[in-house]
Each structure stands twice: as structure tokens, then as C-alpha cells.
Amino acid sequence: MTAQPITSPRPAADGAGEALLSVRDLTVTFGRGRKAFRAVDGVDFDVYPGQTVGLVGESGCGKSVTSLAIMGLLPGRGNTVGGRVTFAGEDLLSMPADQLRDRRGRDVAMIFQDPLSSLNPVVPLGVQVAEVIERHKGRNRSDAQQEAAAMLKKVGIPDPDRRLKEYPHQLSGGMRQRALIAMALACEPRLLIADEPTTALDVTIQAQILALLKELVSESGTALIMITHDLGVVAGLCDEVNVLYAGRIVERAQRHDLFATPRHPYTGGLLASIPRLHEERGRRLTPVPGSVSDNIPWEQGCAFAPRCANAVDVCRQQTPTLVPDRDAVGDDRLLRCHNPLTANPVDDTPTVEEDAR
Amino acid sequence: MLRFIVRRSLQALLALFVLSVLLFAWLRSLPGGVVSALLGERGTPENAAALRSALGLDDPLYVQYWRFLQRALRGDFGVSNGVFRGEPALDVFFQRLPATVELSIFAMILALTLAIPLGYVAARRRGGPLDTGSVVFSLVGVAVPVFFLAYVLKYVFAVQLGWLPPSGRQTVGINATHITNMYVLDGILTREWDAAWDAFKHLLLPALALASIPFAIIFRITRAAVIDVMEEDYVRTARAKGLTPRVIRVRHIMRNALIPVVTVVGLQIGALLAGAVLTEKVFAFQGIGQALAIGFERRDYPVLQVLIMMAALIYILVNLLVDIAYAVIDPRVRTK
């Protein structure tokens, strides 16, 4: 079964207009036959120019696979991608490989989770930044190197001319992620996909990197898809948040609305599991009980039901659909739940990331 | 880098010294021995004893070794007492070195130019017919003994089909000037194209036989390395940047995949020397390998000693070069 296409919630802050990226009924299946596993199951969302959209969920919920499918970067064999991904009016999924290559890195760029393994260990940093400039802007080697140096400076890497000659292992983790951001933004893409860009970094560095990303995308008007399991990241960065569970969107809301009144019990659980500073010491964290291995298939009801404190009988009998949710704070909310949380606001929004700068 | 080279050279010297001791003790413990080889059937116990004391073989082994070492350091490894009778052993080595170098280089070039592209393509089409076919082919390459392959090649292409000469390095009596004693190179340098072509035809079958094992091993390592590297995050990054397939292949996949290949190539130089003994014997190719085989049959200690020591020296030098090459292609090694 597939979800109904949902018309856009709202244009981004900088004005109305067409969605830059429009994902419709995106489905990614690994394997085939009886062993087939549907990692992404009918996901719809839009990203407007300049907007920052969060895809949030725990490991295995399909958020990274969604981003790789949009970029056409899933490994060639063993998977089937269905649905439509429209970028600036063109379907990326049916586009010939060479045309897609022209757009990757120029119009749509991506940064990855582990900055060390995402950089080529045997190629100087300068070449790795300059090659994307050479490729898409048609610059020669030396001009591209100069632009690369300027780009490194822009992302806060000191002494860029020296760094250009260095190799990834000579840089710190934060520097590496800055370098990856420099590569991704070198051609001023209209959309940047950041897949857990801070997960592999120290907490202090995380805050710096998020602040940098926020500054750069707002400065250049680049739209951003932020993929994370960390609601703290969402709180500091995103305009709109999609919560994914077992390959489907279970809740969508504007950031403030989501933090004020989470409606899906899974969202509520994610929020409750964030450690808070001004809580009495010694109190245990409240994790979401169980794990994804407890899921039931969506066909038999709500995949989250076995882990859900709010689950009622209907949750195990009838598949919930993603429908507009008018009972909560905020407009254009979507919810996939038979028995949502009542509008009982969580007391505060984690502000760690917002304070970072 | 200089410190690295100095340290490695000292290690090499130590290795050579240990090898010379072992070699010396081992050769003298072989049954038969030089005296019976020299005297043959006519030896009486009396002349055998006389010869033993004349050659200093009655002295304790360490005294003999000390004598050997003193002479060796002056470049005197003794005089051949076998087929090359009367020639200084070291000269035998230098006369025959160019032939083996030419054969080995040509075999290695054959192995590399076939194995690396094939390994890449097989990895990209993993599980396909080309991949499966070349994996089986390379297994055969490792499993078939070199001398057997050499005989088969000789029988089919030289004896039955008559396309290529069965033995030797160049047709006897051909008009050829020799400068480096690498005959193909000489022919090119002197523009004696007939001589070069003739030498090349003589080189082809032994080189094919000799290349079989390095080819198989380099192919398998390349294939495995490319499969590994293709799954690396940085290759995904390169694709996310929209780079052309050529840049991804050369700069991002092969530059990383070749690191283990370089190591294996270094190790295979040793295998090449071992293979040369068998191949050169089958094709009567007048190189070090053939001299070594002949030397063994005749218990020609001076020649054996110098050939084995020099082979070890070459092996050590090549490995030193490989380590330097390693530092050049992998910056992580360089800055450590």
C-alpha cells in the first residue's frame, strides 16, 4: 500500500513558489522475492528553496537510504527504487547517468557522516576540493586550486594554502568535516543533503560544525536536508521536521510545533530520551523501550505498536495512514497514528545547538 | 627518508651476512661434495685426501668460512669448478645477469599489463562470466607448476606449431652486436631490427611461462583490492561530487587499490627468481637460473654461492625499492 501524495505543507521562509525538491512515494527495496526488505516505504516530502528540512529517526529507519536514493548513490545492484524524485522540475530517478552526474556536486551536494573515511586518504586535500570545481565550473587546475583555498578559508580552515597540500590524516576530525563541507558547497548547490554530519565528532566540534552549516546555508540560500537521529540538531537547525519510523514518515510538523506538542508516541519517546541539563541529578534517562527488531510489518498495523505505551487494539489490526492532524498546535501537521499523545506540551526545547554560536 | 634508507640498508647487510653463513654451512653439508665432483670416477682415497687438504677442506668450518668471507669482501668468490671451469664465479654471475633481468622484466611487464586491467574489470563485473572465467583462469595459473607450463608451451608453440623457437636466446650465427647483453634492447639500440625481433621471439615463451604465477597473484590482489575500495566511503563521496567515471576510476579507486598490489609485486620478484631457474632450464635460456641449475648438478660451490648471494641481494634491493614506492603512493606511510 502506498500513501496518498500529500500536497505541500508550506513554502519556506523566503517566499512562495515551486518546491525545489519534491519526493513522491519513494520506495527502496533491498533484495527480492520473499527476502525483500523495504527500507523506505512510500516517503513523500518537499523541500523549498532555502528551507531546512529534517529527517529524523533511529538507525535503520531509512533516513540515509532516502538521501542516497535521491542522489542516485545506492549501490547499483540488489535494490529497487520506486516513486519520483523531482528536482527543479526534472525527475532524478529516470534521468540518464551522465545528466545526473552533471547535477551531482553542482546542483545537489552531499556531506557524509564519517569525515575520515569519506575523504580519499592518498589524494591531497587541495585536489579533492579543486576537482569538483574543475568538473562543474570548467576551471583549470590552478584557478580551481585558488577557489579551493578561498573555500577552505570560508569554512574556517586556517592557513588554507598549506592545508591544500596536506592529506586527510594530517587534519583533525573537525577540519575534515569542514573540508567536506567546502567540497559540497564549492559549486554553490541549490540543495545540500547532510547525512548525520556531526555524529562522528566531539560534542564541542559538533556545535561548531552545525553553526557553520547554518551560517553557510542561510548566507547562500541553499536548501538543506538534515538527516539525524539527534533531536538536538533538529532543534537548532530545521524549519520542518519529518520523523521516520521503519521506512515511513510517522509525523511531520514545523520544528517549534513538534517540540511543543509531539503527537506520535515515537516522537514523544525521542524527545523524552534527550538528557536535560536542569533535571535533578541521578535521574535515569528514559529511552524508547524495545528496538526495531520488535516491529510488526506495516501491513499488519502500526510498525511501532509493540514498543508503544499508547498502543491500543486497533494499532495491531489496521495500518495507520498519514493524515493531516488538526488537534495539535501548529498548521499543516501530518500524523500517522491511531492513538496519538494528547496535547501535553513537553516543557522545553533543547537549546544546546542554538546556543552553540 | 634518508634515515629510513640507511636503516633498511643496514638490515639488508645483516640479512646477507646471516644468509652467507647458512648458505656456506648448507652447501658443505650436501652429500657428494666437491672432491668427488672434481675427481669423478678416477678418484682414489689417496688423491681425494690430498685434494681435500689442498683445498683447505680439512680445516674447521668456521675457518673455511672466515677465509671465504675475507675473499668475498675483496670481490673474490673463487673460481668455477664446474661447467664454467676456470672462470671467476662472479664473472659467471655478471655474464648471465642481463639475460635474467631481460626475461624477468619482460615477464613482469606481461603480468602487470594483463593482470591489473583484468583485475579491475573483473571487480567491476563481479559475479559475471568474465569475472568467473578469469578467477578460474588465475587459479589454474597458480596451481600449474611453472616447469610443466613451460614444457607445455614449448611443446605446443615451438615443437608442434613451430611458431616460436624452442630454446636459446637468439638464433646462433645471426648478425648481432651486443652492448648490454639484453638482446632485445641491444637490437633496438643498434637498430639491428632482425636481431631484436629474433631475440624477442626467443623471449616470448619463457616470459609467458614465468609470468603465469605473478599474473595470477597480481590479478587476484587487484580484483580483491578494487572490490574493497569500491565500497569505501570516499568513492561514494567522489560519486556524490559528480566526477566523471574516468577520474573516479583513476584517482579514487586505482590509486588506493594499487597500494596492496605494489607490495605483492615486490614479493613476486622473489618468486620470479625462483621461477627463472625452472623456466631457463626448460628453454635453455642462458641466464642465472640456468647457471644455478647447472651449478647444482656439478656441485659448483663457488658459482652456487655467488649466484644465491646475488639473488638474495637483488631480492633485498627490490624490496627496499618497493618500500620506497610505498611511501611515494601512500602519504600515511610517508609522514609516520
Q: For B155-204, how does the pLDDT look when each residue is reduced to its tens digit (9 = 90+)?
A: 999 888 988 888 888 888 777 788 888 888 888 888 888 888 888 989 99
In sequence order, what are the beta bridge partners of A81? A28
A120–B241: do the CB atoms touch at under 8 Å? no
Structural domains in chain A (count): 2
How much is the mean pLDDT over chain A? 85
> How many angstroms away from the CA of B3 is the closest CA of chain A?
22
> DSSP letter at A314?
G
Nearest-by-CA chain B residue for A97: B242
| Nearest-by-Cβ selection for A120 from B234, B240, B259 | B234
Strands A21-30, A37-47: pairing is antiparallel
Distance between CA atoms of residues B300 and B309, nearest Å: 14
The domain of A314 spans 50-63+97-107+189-275+286-356
Q: Which residues of A touch B247 (CB under 8 A)?
A: 131, 135
Least confident of A13-17, B6-10, B66-70: A13-17
Does residue A144 lie in a domain region? yes
Task: Give residue-wise pLDDT tens across range A182-209.
Answer: 999 999 899 999 998 888 788 888 888 8
- Asked if the C-beta of B247 comes within 8 angstroms of chain A's C-beta atoms, the answer is yes
pLDDT at position B305 is 85
Examine the fold and report which residue of A188, A217, A243 is the final residue of a domain before the chain moves on: A188
Does residue A133 lie in a domain region? yes
Task: Give residue-wise pLDDT tens across range A221-273.
Answer: 899 999 998 888 888 889 999 999 999 999 999 998 998 888 999 999 888 88
How much is the mean pLDDT over chain B? 85
Does residue A222 lie in a domain region? yes
> How many angstroms away from the CA of A70 is the closest CA of chain B?
11
> DSSP letter at B88?
B
CATH architecture of the region B96-334 = Orthogonal Bundle (1.10)
Same domain, yes or no: A198 and A178: no
Does residue A28 lie in a domain region? no
Same domain, yes or no: A182 and A205: no
Task: Give residue-wise pLDDT tens across range B200-218.
Answer: 989 999 999 999 989 999 9
Distance between CA atoms of residues B285 and B291, nearest Å: 10
Does residue A30 lie in a domain region? no
A136–B232: do the CB atoms touch at under 8 Å? no
Same domain, yes or no: A224 and A336: yes
pLDDT at position B284 is 87
* The overall pTM is greater than 0.90: no
Q: What ipTM was estimated for this complex?
A: 0.84
Examine the fold and report which residue of A160, A188, A216 is the final residue of a domain before the chain moves on: A188
- A296 — phi, psi (to 5°)? -100, 155
A180–B237: do the CB atoms touch at under 8 Å? yes
Same domain, yes or no: A178 and A196: no
Does residue A82 lie in a domain region? no
CB pairs under 8 A between A and B: 83
Does residue A92 lie in a domain region? no
Same domain, yes or no: A221 and A258: yes
Distance between CA atoms of residues B275 and B149, nearest Å: 11
> For the domain that residue A247 is a member of, what is the CATH number?
3.40.50.300
Give which of B68, B39, B52 is closest to B305, Cα–Cα. B68
> How many angstroms away from the CA of A185 is the closest CA of chain B?
10
Distance between CA atoms of residues A295 and A246, nearest Å: 8
Same domain, yes or no: A157 and A205: no
Chain B interface test: which of A122, A125, A128 (most B C-beta within 10 Å): A122
Task: Give residue-wise pLDDT tens across range B236-256.
Answer: 999 999 999 999 999 999 999
pLDDT average, residue stretch B81-100: 86
Q: What DSSP letter does each residue of A31-80 carry, written as one string?
A: S-GGG-EEEEEEEEEEE-TT-EEEEE--TTSSHHHHHHHHHT-S-SSSEE
Same domain, yes or no: A269 and A122: no
